[in-house]
């Protein structure tokens, strides 16, 4: 009788109690934390179209899963329009996107990720005009095993500071070779609050400038990814190691294209990158570019040692 591999659990995101508060991402968990709850207890805060909304202190959280009835691009555009309606008067701080068959070709010969990016970009432009880039929060977009698009967001009343990696071209400035509309996100977002600062680091991979580094070499891509994380950590004011000497609570998601790479990646991250108190999920997911093998994102809560940055004064956003 042939051996049947056990089915892997899927990452589940907990936003709050009640309908829509448990989000199934359809992203397999390889190791580590399988249920993510970043914001603690939250109460239901109604709905906006397909979005279930929750309130956790100053955080407004929301999630929706949309079938691709009119295609992926239209689903992304409609979902983000509802996100903007739900967050009116607040600021988007972080968005997680789980995109079905992210590297597969879609209508018109565009890759599904490119279709998603076009829908998201058009939604931002429709809401905020041509200068929408200054509004873009940290984000990630990875492949899921679902046939539907899932979007999860966090918004707040505090004015965020969106941060770029000086060694990378801003994603929203990518050249046309990556698609008709560039990705709409910042590399990181910093939110200062009296009780501590929150920092969201977007999905980070082996990209230098705008080019993929070390195609198909996991060790080289992982080192480039860690280098990029160090750069964005410095740009955020977290020092060289993502507040490694501080008291913040650190959550990491490590996305791997190939499940068999998990032990090697975990061993490398244990060599001075991760702390024993970190919450880490290792996940099997296709990434935004087919040659990319690993992507890492981070969410830090309760940062108290944020270094001052004279260039970091928040700019008032237009209403």
Catalytic residue IDs? 295
Residues in a beta bridge with 43: 55
CB 185 within 8 A of CB 200: no
CA-closest candidate to residue 12, choices 283, 205, 274: 283
Question: Which residues, in sequence order, are CB contacts of 62 under 8 Å at separation 6+?
Answer: 15, 48, 51, 52, 53, 54, 83, 86, 87, 152, 153, 155
Residues in a beta bridge with 190: 161, 199
- How many residues are given for the chain? 319
CB atoms within 10 A of CB 90: 15
Question: Which residues, in sequence order, are CB contacts of 301 under 8 Å at separation 6+?
Answer: 38, 196, 198, 248, 249, 251
C-alpha angle 175-84-193 in degrees, rounded to nearest 5: 95
CA distance 203 to 113: 14
Q: Which two tokens stand for residue 23?
A: 């989000």
Residues in a beta bridge with 204: 296
CB 264 within 8 A of CB 202: no
The phi and psi torsions of 146 (rounded to 5 degrees) equal: -85, 165
Give the CB-side neighbour count of residue 178, counting CA atoms within 13 A.
21
Integer CA distances (angstroms), 103 to 100, 127, 142, 292, in order: 9, 27, 10, 11
CA distance 130 to 141: 23
């Amino acid at each position: 009788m042939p051996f049947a591999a056990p089915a892997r659990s899927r990452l589940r995101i907990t936003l709050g109690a009640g309908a829509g508060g448990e989000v199934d991402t359809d992203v397999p968990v390889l190791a580590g934390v399988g249920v993510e709850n970043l914001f603690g207890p939250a109460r239901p805060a109604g709905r906006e179209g397909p979005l279930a909304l929750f309130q956790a202190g100053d955080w407004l959280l929301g999630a929706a899963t949309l079938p691709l009835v009119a295609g992926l691009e239209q689903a992304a555009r409609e979902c983000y329009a509802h996100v903007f309606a739900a967050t009116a008067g607040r600021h988007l701080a972080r968005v997680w996107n789980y995109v079905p068959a992210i590297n597969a070709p879609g209508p018109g010969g565009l890759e599904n990720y490119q279709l998603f990016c076009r829908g998201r970009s058009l939604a931002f432009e429709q809401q905020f005009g041509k200068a929408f880039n200054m509004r873009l929060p940290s984000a990630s977009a990875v492949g899921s095993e679902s046939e539907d698009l899932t979007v999860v967001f966090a918004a707040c009343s505090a004015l965020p500071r969106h941060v770029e990696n000086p060694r990378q071209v801003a994603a929203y400035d990518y050249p046309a070779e990556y698609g008709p509309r560039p990705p709409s996100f910042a590399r990181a977002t910093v939110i200062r609050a009296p009780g501590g600062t929150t920092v969201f680091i977007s999905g980070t991979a082996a990209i230098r400038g705008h080019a993929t580094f070390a195609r198909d070499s996991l060790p080289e891509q992982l080192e480039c990814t860690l280098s990029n994380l160090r750069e964005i950590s410095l740009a955020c004011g977290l020092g060289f190691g993502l507040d490694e000497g501080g008291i913040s609570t650190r959550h990491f998601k490590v996305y791997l294209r190939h499940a068999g790479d998990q032990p090697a990646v975990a061993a490398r991250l244990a060599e001075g990158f991760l702390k024993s108190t970190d919450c880490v999920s290792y996940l099997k997911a296709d990434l935004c570019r087919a040659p990319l093998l690993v992507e890492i994102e981070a969410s830090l809560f309760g940062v108290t040692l944020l270094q001052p940055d004279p260039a970091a004064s928040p700019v008032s956003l237009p209403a």
